[in-house]
Amino acid sequence: MQNLPFHTEGIRIVVVITPDIEGTIEKVTYTHPGCNRCYGGVEISGFGGDFFYWIGSRHTLSGELNITDRTFTQSRPIRFSHNDRDSAKRYRFNQPAKITLYFTLQVNETIWQPKVVWTENCSVDKANAVKAKAWCSQKGETRYVVKDGKRYPITLPCWQESEQWVVSERDDNTCGAGRKTRIAVKGHASVCRKSAIYVSRNR
């Protein structure tokens, strides 16, 4: 707790922990350097439970906090506090006690399944055109979609497919009465592209 922001309320030093996930607390344990009954200590309260912090540095002390509130809610502050003097009134705390807290949680996890959707950009009437060639214009690779801070891989052999189509145009060249009518067929090439995009959906 020593590295967390804190404030004082009268003789109490208060640390506020703000969770960034939600779940049900299975247990809360603590460790701190100390020496059992060496120099006195202070009672630390939090989550409806409390434990005694022994001042000293000979050993690492640990235990489990007997809590009454097992709800771990995102953005709902959790308070831990202790007096600014030890029980024997010989030691004054200028900051929170040097304690490490461990929360074991049961959480509901949403797993996202990336889905690939193909979109085509093409103005060619393919019914009146001839495909000249096709190629991969964006090579295959593994890409990642990020959802809720997690990266999900998607691998495709090709991320964009291109096609070249030859479009025919009719040109009626009429030379006048009694003359032959020449019909010329001209062609121009157009390129169509179909690209893969991905969206996330839960499963």
Percentage of residues in the chain with pLDDT exceeding 70?
A: 84
pLDDT, residue 126, reads 85
Residue 22 pLDDT > 80: yes
Q: Is the pLDDT of residue 133 over 50?
A: yes
Q: How confident is the model at residue 185 (pLDDT cuts 50, 70, 90)?
A: very low
Residue 203 has pLDDT above 60, yes or no: no
Mean pLDDT of 42-46: 87
* pTM beyond 0.85, yes or no: no
Give the per-residue pLDDT at 13: 92
* Mean pLDDT score, 111-128: 85
pLDDT at position 151 over 50: yes
> Residue 2: what residue type?
Q
Predicted pLDDT at 57? 63
- Side-chain-side CA neighbours of 49 within 13 Å: the count stands at 15
Strand partners, 24: 71, 106
Q: What is residue 66's predicted lDDT score, i.e. its pLDDT?
A: 83
For the chain, list the domains and their CATH numbers. Answer: 6-106 (2.60.120), 112-202 (no CATH)
Strand positions, DSSP E, the chain: 6-9, 12-17, 23-34, 41-46, 49-54, 59-65, 71-72, 78-83, 100-106, 112-121, 129-147, 150-174, 181-202
Q: What pLDDT is stored for residue 124 in this prediction?
A: 85
Provide the CA 15 distance to its chain's centre, in angstroms.
27
